Chains A and B, each alone.
Chain A
Amino acid sequence: MRVLVNGEARTLDPGATVADVVRSLDLGLEARGVAVAVDGEVVPRGEWPTTSLRVDARVEVLGAIGGGR
């Protein structure tokens, strides 16, 4: 199943969840300061394991960088 993770095409098993994507990035589910949006909508951390991705889902995995002024 093809999805876009941070703009890059990835192939995942059907039924893969947001948690699977985060785990694949080797951030660890405990990764502090990480947020995920799927198709532009925020997925709360507690829902990562139960949120399945559809084909061609756009997944954005975001974290903190230096920024501002």
Chain B
Amino acid sequence: MSSDPLVIAGRELSSRLILGSGGFANHELLREACHAADVDLCTVALRRIGPGGEHSSGRSILDVLREANVEVLPNTAGCFTARDAVRTAQLAREAFATDWIKLEVIGDERTLLPDVVELVAAAETLVADGFRVLPYTTDDPTLARRLEDLGCVAVMPLGSPIGSGMGICNPYNISLIVERAGVPVVLDAGVGTASDAALAMELGCDAVLCASAISRAHDPAAMATAIRFGVDGGRLAYGAGRIPRRRYAEASTPMAGLPSL
């Protein structure tokens, strides 16, 4: 849908689906998902490499993404404090030569919900340091507004906890965020299947970020295609304008001219 590009911080993206690279069993499945999802951006995380690290030898995930013509969106996954998130962002800028950062500051391991106090502190520091900050946040409209006001280039509210596949638990809050937002809203976390992505877009979100629903699906490439169509379908439906919900039927066939039988 390149006629309807997503623009974040002046950068035009033809896809409204952003892929997360977490959870793929191997590079080949990630490569297939990149192609099937037809994304421009994919998140990556920073971890130790070499001794004491978990980095596998051989081809890097960066090679896979480059060959798929997908650009890197580094994240601060695994950070629990503003201090760690800021340092990780600075390392990511150095490693990947981009000032874009998907900012995540997690409150606890069980829920992986954002620690919003640390999140705001980290966002302020990173914005002042010249980063383009895309914060993973709760579905709190006030907080989303605060993040925008302090200079974030997008807001990324969760639909439900990371990897839960619970979809969008509070669509009313997502709508409130969308109504008030002056920056793109990217639904982040919770998508379980294509209809969740479609709902996010029907609510007016500008994009969807998704990994687990794809990477942990029985057939990741097929689910990537399905979610891509969900995003595009939801976007079209949002633009087309849905009919209002009503409690009783409204006949679509006129009563006039009904024969007397």
A residues engaging B (CB < 8 A)?
A: 5-8, 10, 25-27, 32-37, 40, 42, 44-45, 60-69
From B52, B91, B188, give the contact of A42 (CB < 8 A): B91
Q: Is the CB of A5 within 8 A of B52?
A: yes
Interface contact A65-B90, CB-CB below 8 Å: no
Contact between B163 and A69, CB atoms less than 8 A apart: yes
Contact assessment for B48 and A61 in the assembled complex, using a CB-CB cutoff below 8 Å: yes
Of the candidates A6, A25, A66, the one whose C-beta lies within 8 Å of that of B44 is A66
Q: In the complex the two chains form, is B62's CB within 8 Å of A32's CB?
A: yes
Q: Which of B149-193 contact A (CB under 8 A)?
A: 162-163, 188-189
**Residues of chain A with a CB closer than 8 A to B43's CB:** 67-69
B94 adjacent to A65 (CB under 8 Å) = no
Which of A7, A45, A67 touches B48 (beta carbons < 8 Å)?
A7
List 4 additional A-B contacts (Cβ < 8 Å) besides A42-B94, A68-B77.
A67-B44, A68-B211, A69-B22, A69-B211
Complex: how many Å from CA A10 to CA B52? 11
B58 at the interface (CB under 8 A from A): no
B55 touches A65 (CB 8 A): yes
Smallest CB gap from B212: residue in A: A69
> Contact between A63 and B49 (Cβ–Cβ < 8 Å)?
yes
- A68 — which chain B residues lie within 8 A by C-beta? 20-22, 43-45, 73, 75, 77, 102, 209, 211
Return the contact of B50 from the options A5, A44, A67 (Cβ within 8 A): A5
Known interface pairs A6-B52, A25-B49. Does A64 touch B94 (Cβ–Cβ under 8 Å)? no
Given A40-B87, A69-B209, A64:B75 Cβ within 8 A: no
Q: Are A62 and B47 in contact (CB under 8 A)?
A: yes
| Contact status A66-B87, CB under 8 Å | no
Closest residue on chain A to residue B44 by CB atoms:
A64
- Measured CB to CB, the closest approach of chain A to B227, in angstroms, equals 12
Determine if B51 is an interface residue (Cβ-Cβ < 8 Å): yes
Contact A66 B95 (CB under 8 A): no
Q: Any chain A CB within 8 A of the CB of B229?
A: no
Taking a contact as CB atoms under 8 Å apart, the answer to whether A69 and B162 are in contact is yes
Please tell me if B36 contacts chain A, counting CB pairs below 8 Å: no
What is the CA–CA distance of A26 and B62 in the complex, to the nearest angstrom?
17
B96, A33: Cβ atoms under 8 Å?
A: yes
Contact status of A37 and B50, CB under 8 A, knowing A63-B55, A64-B44, A65-B44: no
Are A65 and B61 neighbours in the complex by a CB distance under 8 Å? yes
B51 close to A25 (CB less than 8 A) = yes
The reply to whether A63 and B46 form a contact with Cβ atoms under 8 Å apart is: yes
Roughly how many angstroms separate A45 CA and B97 CA in the complex, as a whole number?
11
